[in-house]
Amino acid sequence: MSVESVGAVHRWSMLALGVFAQASSAVFIHGTPFLLPALTERGMALPTAGLLVAMPTVGLVCTLIAWGYVMDRIGERKVLVAGPAVMFVAGIAAATTTSDIALGALLLLGGIGAASTNSASGRVIVGWFPPDRRGLAMGIRQTAQPLGVGIGALTIPLAAAQHGIPAAILVPAVMAGIAALACLFGIVDPPRPKGGAADRDNPYRGDSTLWRIHGASVLLAVPQGVLWTFALLWLHRDLGWSIPVAGAVVTATQILGALGRIGAGAWSDRVGSRLGPLYRIAVAATICTAALGVAAWTQWWWAAIPLLFVASVITVSDNGLAFTAVAEIAGPYWSGRGLGMQNTGQNLAMAAIPPVFGALITWGGFPAAFLGAAAVAALAVPLVPSDHTRRTRTEDSAVDAARPIRSPAARPDPR
């Protein structure tokens, strides 16, 4: 079965399953911190509770590359079934334990299972969608994270308050179980070429392109992470807005950011390039985050609030482009490891943001944090590589033989 021989319903069903599996992982990873109020009300010290809810993220970061390696070996379907199944089992066990140590260990195990979907769901989409639809599809897939955060925010605190912590933990566990069953019966591994030596060669050896994309993505994760982490606190402290109002504004920026990811993917399909739009977004992220810092410093609130919305959209729009580019350049036999490295670097950067920029805010206020994030984003601009003059590994494979991606030879770099 080739990409061109399958219908639109088949492709979009693969996308829907990938989004659902990734969203279930996002609920487990990013929803667990919503247990903090219930844990602290139970008498647990905040540092201890913070360490406990960080366990899924620790499991995620430590195993992203390993899951990518496994996927390259055994295929996407098995990984998309096994990972959510681990989340389901770990979540059920966590909901029944009475030991905080066991709870932390089981949340760590759940995070290990959650790491499986990052590479596998992306590779399923890259494998089943032709190049001129791939950017849009991957942009839709990238909305799984804010979708998961939203589901966690709506369900986990409410379940914990009304029915206790075990009931709240069952929310991501049940969702993961449904995802495992859905992927078992609905996912079909995309076709791969026979696998000549060129396909199996290490794409990182003798070529800096993937390393440069990884580096640029890590740097570009900083402004988006700073906005996600501190925007609500900034609106509350410096502007005096109530927490509910500030929270509603941040939620609105998340929704617009999700739409921005879809738009960036469609843009890349239209121009036949991932890296050209990525370069422009890096420049725009630098400019708008710096402008937000200046507006916050001068207290021009009439400009700062619109700039917060603009920056929140632009700074997240690069994710799908870089993710797609890594999968295409790495090829079907290395994309799992490539996407694992991509996600590992970004998650490590995100983990460093609260302490580092928290200290910067203590020293120089929120404007200093925004300007610092802009400076980091500026370092990413020269790192973004230009479009390849050679065909990518994915193009050369049988997956895309019928419809190769438009190369720079046919269309100039849109920078």
Domains in the chain, ordered, with CATH? 8-191 (1.20.1250.20), 203-388 (1.20.1250.20)
Contact (CB, 8 A) for 308 and 292: yes
Mean pLDDT of 46-54: 81
Q: Considering the chain, what percentage of its residues have pLDDT values greater than 70? A: 90
**Whether residue 128 has pLDDT greater than 50:** yes
Q: What is the pLDDT of residues 160-208, one digit of tens each?
A: 888 999 999 999 999 999 999 999 999 988 887 665 555 567 888 888 8
- Say what the pLDDT of residue 404 is: 39
Helix spans in 238-317 (H): 243-271, 275-298, 301-314
Q: Looking at the predicted structure, is the pLDDT value of residue 7 above 70?
A: no
Distances from the Cα of 169 to the Cαs of 44, 93, 159, in angstroms? Answer: 17, 10, 9
**Confidence (pLDDT) at 388:** 53
Angstrom distance (rounded) from CA 166 to CA 95: 4
Instruction: Give the position of tokens 């979540």.
Output: 91
Q: For residues 136 and 77, what is the distance between their CA atoms, to the nearest angstrom?
A: 22
Q: Does pLDDT of 78 surpass 60? A: yes
What residue spans of 32-115 are helical by DSSP H?
Answer: 36-41, 46-53, 55-74, 76-96, 100-114
Q: Which tops the pLDDT comparison, 372 or 338? A: 372
User: What local confidence, expressed as pLDDT, does residue 144 receive?
Assistant: 87
Q: Angle formed by the axes of helices 76-96 and 100-114, to 10°?
A: 160
Q: In sequence order, what are the residues at sequence separation of 6 or more whose Cβ sits closer than 8 angstroms to the Cβ of residue 32?
A: 53, 55, 56, 107, 152, 156, 172
The 10s digit of each residue's pLDDT in 252-277 is: 887 888 899 899 999 999 998 999 99
pLDDT, residue 5, reads 53
Helix, strand, coil in percent for the chain, rounding step 5? 80, 0, 20
Token reading at 308: 């917060």
Number of CB atoms found within 10 A of residue 163's CB: 11
In whole angstroms, what is the distance from residue 300 CA to residue 306 CA?
A: 11
Q: Is there a contact between 66 and 340 (Cβ–Cβ < 8 Å)?
A: yes
d(CA 294, CA 304) in angstroms, rounded, equals 8
pLDDT band at 24 (very low <50, low <70, confident <90, very high): very high
Give the CA radius of gyration of the chain: 21
Token pair for residue 282?
């890096």
Q: What is the pTM of this model?
A: 0.77
Q: For position 52, what pLDDT does the model report?
A: 87
Banded model confidence at residue 382, pLDDT cuts 50, 70, 90: very high
Which of 188-209 are b and which e, b meaning 16 or more Cβ less than 10 Å from the residue's Cβ?
Answer: bbbbebeeeeebeeebbeeeeb
Amino acid, res. 226: V
pLDDT of residue 40: 81
Distance CA 400, CA 408 (A): 17
**Which tens digit of pLDDT belongs to each residue from 335-365?**
888 888 898 888 888 878 878 888 888 899 9
For residue 389, is pLDDT > 50? no
Q: Which amino acid, 395?
A: E
Residue listed under structure tokens 């905080």: 100
pLDDT for the residue 398: 38
